[in-house]
Amino acid sequence: MTAFIGYSDEREARAQLVYALREHGVTPWRDVEDLDLGNPTTDTIEAELADCSGAILWINEQVLGSAYVADVELPAIARAARDRGIRIVPVFDGLTPSDASERVGRLGIEIGENNGHVVVPTATSLETATAIAARYSSAELKAAHANGREPIVRLVTYDDTAPHRDDAILNFDWRHAFAADDVEPDVEARLRNPLAASTGALKAAYGASQVVLAVKAHLPAAVALGHAFSETTGCTVRMERDGVGYAVDRGISDVVGLKASWHLKGPIDARAAAVELAVTRDTVAGVNAYVTDGHRYRERVTLTPPAGSGRFALDGPASCNAWAHQVGNLLAELGARSDIDRVDLFLTCPVELAVAVGWWANATGPIALMNCAGKTGPYTPMWHLP
């Protein structure tokens, strides 16, 4: 889904809206990097609108007094609405919906009074942007379902090479939030909310369906995305790599499982457990360093493929689903124990397996998803489930 952002006089407000849209799975055409490049030409506006599913139109006194808005932007939006039927979401900033609709109507565009967002004067720019993005995402998902579009979801956190860039109905672009090796709690909270809101809106629109996922992301974020469509929701997920389809569902194949190596029990007063999913490479050295740094575990178990860890140890879709199911069962088993309050999950695996682990990780209790900087660490918490 793509959104054209109409004129807003405050850079902070526009930047917050751009980030909020990205976080809710919507691709903004007016990007943060373009905010100071001046007013686009009519041809630029027309080209942008041609690829957009809707337009977010910020309306306040300054906008209504702008010759550029009156002569260039609003006529272009009006033509797109008339010719292509794009959705117009007005943002009423300091004006009542009826007053704004009447005044914008004089410029030749009908916006209606009931389908927009009224800015609360006491709200922060972030709060306003989040509310607008959530409303826009939900409305567009309903429209996508009505138009027969397939539920395709895309997540990128460190580059933009995942497939389905043009046909995903949710395109979570979180690159701006994953610049470091960890994610601060306030940033995680900011991302958790739109993930829940947007995937929740998708499930409400499509019901229990198969969702296609395209992921190019840090493994903790991939687990979080899989968990958003977890087994209990009734949804199943499908991914593809090199022409091979990976289906994550309740159909468990009879494959050789992961080998579980239990370490010696830790201090009796330690209330956490560590699960190491070491598929593509060994995790022991990095986790040892994490333990030496003062993080203690009552239980610690390492899961490795039957033939040992390696780049190609995951031998196909059947093992992906079955191994993820095995990890989910172990997480649930540890989470149910009275002497364990939290499980830390360390992963070195293909992203498809990380998504599948998230799908199977339900009814498990609190899980901290650990990110590894480099091949041997250090490890830091990057996400928390549920």
Same domain, yes or no: 302 and 242 = no
Assign residue 226 the CATH number of its domain: 3.40.50.10140
Same domain, yes or no: 25 and 157 = yes
Same domain, yes or no: 91 and 230 = yes
Same domain, yes or no: 96 and 194 = yes
Q: Tell me the two tokens of residue 311.
A: 């780049």
47: number of CA atoms within 13 Å, CB side? Answer: 6
Q: What pLDDT, on a 0 to 100 scale, did the predictor assign at position 35?
A: 46
User: Which structural domain, as residue segments, surrounds residue 347?
Assistant: 251-385
For 352-383, b/e burial (b = at least 16 CB within 10 A) is bbbbbbbbbbbebbebbbbbbeeebbebbbbb
Same domain, yes or no: 53 and 198 = yes
Question: Which of 247, 282, 306 is the last residue before a domain boundary?
Answer: 247
- The Cα 105–Cα 66 span in angstroms is 15
Same domain, yes or no: 185 and 268 = no
pLDDT tens, residue by residue, 173-186: 999 999 888 899 99
Question: Which of 231, 247, 263 is the last residue before a domain boundary?
Answer: 247
pLDDT tens, residue by residue, 147-196: 999 999 999 999 999 999 999 999 999 999 998 888 999 999 999 999 99
Q: How many CB atoms lie within 10 A of CB 39?
A: 12
Same domain, yes or no: 194 and 276 = no
Q: Do residues 280 and 249 make contact, with C-beta atoms less than 8 angstroms apart?
A: no
Q: Do residues 239 and 213 make contact, with C-beta atoms less than 8 angstroms apart?
A: yes
Same domain, yes or no: 318 and 335 = yes
Q: For residue 41, which amino acid is it?
A: T
Same domain, yes or no: 161 and 201 = yes
Closest CA to 275 of 354, 357, 330: 330
Q: What pLDDT, on a 0 to 100 scale, did the predictor assign at position 81?
A: 86
Same domain, yes or no: 206 and 276 = no
Q: Tell me the two tokens of residue 305.
A: 């493929």
Same domain, yes or no: 48 and 137 = yes
**Which residues, other chains included, contact 352 with Cβ-Cβ below 8 Å and sequence gap of 6+?**
215, 239, 241, 246, 314, 320
Question: Which of 247, 281, 306 is the last residue before a domain boundary?
Answer: 247
HEC string for 14-44: HHHHHHHHHHCCCEECCCHHHCCCCCCCHHH
Q: Do residues 188 and 172 make contact, with C-beta atoms less than 8 angstroms apart?
A: no
Closest CA to 313 of 259, 355, 238: 259
Q: Residue ranges of the chain with pLDDT lower than 70? A: 8-9, 30-40, 113-114, 376
Q: What pLDDT, on a 0 to 100 scale, did the predictor assign at position 33?
A: 53
Same domain, yes or no: 13 and 147 = yes
- The Cα 169–Cα 145 span in angstroms is 9
The total number of structural domains that make up the chain: 2
